[in-house]
Amino acid sequence: MARSDQYTLIDDLVLHRIIEYAHLQESDVVLEIGAGTGVLTEKLAEHVCKVIAIESDASLARSLGQRFKGTSVEVVHGDALKLTFPRFNKVVSNLPYSISSKITFKLLKHPFEEAILMYQYEFARRLAASHGSKDYGKLSICVQYLADVELLEIVPPTAFSPQPGVRSAIVRLVPRAPEYEVADRNFFSRFLTAVFSQRRKKLKNSIAAFTDVRNLGLSGGLLNMRPEELPAAKLAEISDVLYYRTRE
């Protein structure tokens, strides 16, 4: 039986496509988070040098350990958010949805080539969203600052057992250097929280929480826009202006 936030993927065609998306090589070391009953684990092990399968449920971890004893699969029992990850070069996982955001940012602190990850569809849309979209926000900007994000396909509930009450989606993450810089990442994060928590308000109203907007040197047209209308690099420029103003 699956845990409340993770479901066993049983659709062989979807499993096959996940393997294809990952461009697996015999030399790859793949990290799998939330291995569950080992359905995806088994497929991965057929193509790569090593699979590191993390599972938080003690019973499932024991079962996996017995099933893959003497193989190229290393089963690790523990909380993926608390464990120190061993070295890996790819990530392929049907993630527990409750840790989607936290585990994504933890992964992006590690070097790897690419990740193929199953998320709840609504979360995946927010990850991949561009400015001008209703799904665009802090999550989109912070993840896309560190990686290219591609929503590969939507997966229906019927692909899982038991069936979840939501659709899922497969996403590719490819880490890369940021395409723009910010003066202070922590300040930028707080700025994004402030402006997107009032996403229907104009920027001049959101910025008022930081400082007087009248002497910032920003155009009135820009200040009359909503945060979702602006690309991330432009929001970073505004954040930098505010950051240096607050340090004066």
The pLDDT tens digits of the residues spanning 135-168 come to: 999 999 999 999 999 999 999 999 999 999 999 9
94 with 117, same domain: the answer is: yes
111 with 62, same domain: the answer is: yes
160 with 235, same domain: the answer is: no
CA angle (195, 205, 128) in 5-degree steps? 25
Residue 38 backbone zone (phi > 0: left; psi -120 to 50: alpha; other: beta): left
100-107 and 121-128 helices cross at what angle (nearest 10)? Answer: 40
Evaluate whether residue 119 is within a structural domain: yes
Q: Is 35 helix (H, G, I), strand (E, B) or coil?
A: coil
Q: State residue 198's pLDDT score.
A: 84
Residues forming a β-bridge with 29:
50
The pLDDT tens digits of the residues spanning 160-218 come to: 999 999 999 999 999 999 999 999 999 999 999 989 998 888 888 888 777 666 667 67
Rounded to the nearest integer, the mean pLDDT of the chain is: 93
Omega prior to 162 cis, within 30 of 0: yes
Domain boundary among 146, 175, 204: 175
State the pTM of this model.
0.93
22 with 131, same domain: the answer is: yes
The pLDDT tens digits of the residues spanning 119-134 come to: 999 999 999 999 999 9
Residue 238 belongs to what domain range? 185-246
Evaluate whether residue 2 is within a structural domain: no
- pLDDT, average across residues 44-50: 98
